[in-house]
Chain A
């Protein structure tokens, strides 16, 4: 049997961390003990405090993404199908998409307060635009030969859209979804630092920094990284499983 080939990168980074820390080469405030960070992480996961933060962040990002998909994908599909809709609203979508999420935060705070709804709505605002753009591009680039074929086989307008255009556009829609997932994490973590909450990975990182607790900060950062990487693995799996035919 072949030995499993583990990637070297993470081991090298960990080794460098250990050497830098025990060699006393870096201020421990900037680079705390890896062992203590590990202990804090496992304690946090077992005593549930970090786990609660993780849950809060996932809930906010997830709720935002879900709502954004419900809004952005149908709108994007409609825009791809209707020239007129695209002509009237395409520029607007591009305009709003160009605004960084953080620039909209003060307005959203005034409008929706400083609770979770503001964070979630900001995620919805930004990611639904991404989904509109990607879905639109996907639907617009649907193979005309396939649509012609469907029509010749007797597909109604609705069937052409739902069975052909949507499927043909799906890989691009999924790309929009993936980009949205990473963006939603960024938005949620940043807003957890900026506006009032008692939970969330962003909140944990910011609080730890305020009291110079770099062990806790590192633990929360690593957990955030694991969340992002984990989501990526899941999305990879879904793509291999359901979109293996894309582009082939």
Chain B
């Protein structure tokens, strides 16, 4: 039961979450603090970008939010989400690695359904419904090696959406694409998020992409990662690529880069 979307207020609260990993250095285990009292809220139906230097523990943060990792301190609070455990959709960093080469595009998208024991016939019809409603003109019968990077990314996103998630987590979703495909895919994804009014959390290395998709943008420091600043992005919706040339956009860009320079360089 999708209880969540459309509700006002915080959907997800990350409250002082800390996480350390032990690492082996010269035969001795050392604790490395990755997340340091991370604190922020995500509003229902909004998109939050996490922007920060490479290796700053953003993937760890996503995994903690999704419940794949337990925080050492602090907690993740979910408001009004499925009491059986909130439903997450994942879009992984490397779609070439995370998609299954032995499955057709259609079967890749339906994979999470197959894990839940949904029958073949229903899987096929749900895949068709979803891709049609999102106007993804995908060749569903082809295998990943026969698709372009942009198409593969659409398959990965459709796969994340097929289970009707309450929160979509995207981990550097565009990093493997060339610039042209990246711009196109950003536009498509922001369109999809606007359409399904899904709460989304995006980890990004690219300031333009982080701003373009975001309602809220968090600049994260080097490890141990803290939230350095929070920028509310008030660009109109639906977003369009020409907004990236606007003075307003450049203003956001400047403040993001300033904050980034202070914490990362």
Enumerate chain A interface residues (CB-CB to B < 8 A): 143, 145-146, 148-156, 159, 163-164, 167-168, 170, 244-246, 248
Once the chains bind, are B145 and A163 in contact (CB under 8 Å)?
no
Q: If A151-B68, A153-B115 touch, does A245 touch B143 (CB 8 Å cutoff)?
A: yes
Once the chains bind, are B100 and A153 in contact (CB under 8 Å)?
no
Once the chains bind, are B92 and A245 in contact (CB under 8 Å)?
no
Once the chains bind, are A149 and B102 in contact (CB under 8 Å)?
no
How far, in whole Å, are A82 and B26 apart by their CA atoms in the complex? 27
How far, in whole Å, are A162 and B116 apart by their CA atoms in the complex? 14
Once the chains bind, are A146 and B100 in contact (CB under 8 Å)?
yes
Once the chains bind, are B100 and A167 in contact (CB under 8 Å)?
yes
Question: Is B66 an interface residue when CB atoms closer than 8 A count as contact?
Answer: yes
Once the chains bind, are A154 and B102 in contact (CB under 8 Å)?
no
Q: If A149-B92, A245-B144 touch, does A167 touch B112 (CB 8 Å cutoff)?
A: no
Once the chains bind, are A149 and B144 in contact (CB under 8 Å)?
no
Q: For chain A, what secondary structure do more than half of its interface residues adopt (helix, strand, loop), or is it mixed? A: helix
Question: Is B90 an interface residue when CB atoms closer than 8 A count as contact?
Answer: yes
Once the chains bind, are B102 and A145 in contact (CB under 8 Å)?
no
How far, in whole Å, are A214 and B143 apart by their CA atoms in the complex? 52
List, in ascending order, chain B residues with CB within 8 A of A143's CB: 97
Q: If A151-B68, A245-B101 touch, does A145 touch B115 (CB 8 Å cutoff)?
A: no
How far, in whole Å, are A154 and B144 apart by their CA atoms in the complex? 22
Nearest-CB residue, chain B, relative to A246? B101
Minimum CB–CB distance for B103 against chain A, Å: 8
Question: Is B7 an interface residue when CB atoms closer than 8 A count as contact?
Answer: no
How far, in whole Å, are A145 and B96 apart by their CA atoms in the complex? 10
Once the chains bind, are A154 and B101 in contact (CB under 8 Å)?
no
How far, in whole Å, are A41 and B100 apart by their CA atoms in the complex? 48
How far, in whole Å, are A167 and B159 apart by their CA atoms in the complex? 19
Q: Can you identify 29 A-B contacts, CB atoms within 8 angstroms?
A: A143-B97, A145-B93, A145-B94, A145-B98, A146-B97, A148-B92, A150-B115, A151-B68, A152-B63, A152-B68, A152-B92, A153-B111, A153-B112, A153-B159, A153-B163, A154-B115, A154-B116, A155-B115, A156-B115, A159-B115, A163-B111, A164-B100, A167-B102, A245-B101, A245-B143, A245-B144, A246-B101, A248-B101, A248-B145
List, in ascending order, chain A residues with CB within 8 A of B163's CB: 153
Minimum CB–CB distance for B99 against chain A, Å: 8
How far, in whole Å, are A153 and B111 apart by their CA atoms in the complex? 9
